[in-house]
Amino acid sequence: MADTIEIRDLVLRIPGLDRNDARELGHEVARRLSEELPTWPLRRHPGAIDLRVTVPAGTPRHQLPRVIAEQIARALR
């Protein structure tokens, strides 16, 4: 498996977030992935993925990066 994973596009459409909040959330998701992906057992080389993430209603804003990053990681396993 390659030592690096490149995220070229991360598009987040979340009702209620303005552009700046969405950008901040995207940075936080990318930061989490960069810190945590090396610890997750990825069983295949990640190619391009198109992923729709579903976040449970009522998920607090501060938990969104974790929930999104975990679902991306699951898609890579």
Q: What confidence tens digit (pLDDT) does each residue in 10-65 have?
A: 777 788 888 898 889 989 998 888 887 777 776 656 667 788 888 888 899 899 99
In this prediction, residue 4 carries a pLDDT of 66
In this prediction, residue 45 carries a pLDDT of 61
CA–CA distances in Å: residue 62 to residues 25, 36, 44, 50, 67: 9, 17, 30, 24, 10
pTM: 0.74
For the beta carbon of residue 51, count every other beta carbon within 10 angstroms.
11
In this prediction, residue 42 carries a pLDDT of 65
Choice between 2 and 32, residue whose per-residue pLDDT is larger: 32
Q: Is the pLDDT of residue 1 over 60?
A: no
Q: Mapping DSSP to helix (H, G, I), strand (E, B) and coil, where does residue 7 land?
A: coil
Integer Rg of the chain from CA: 13
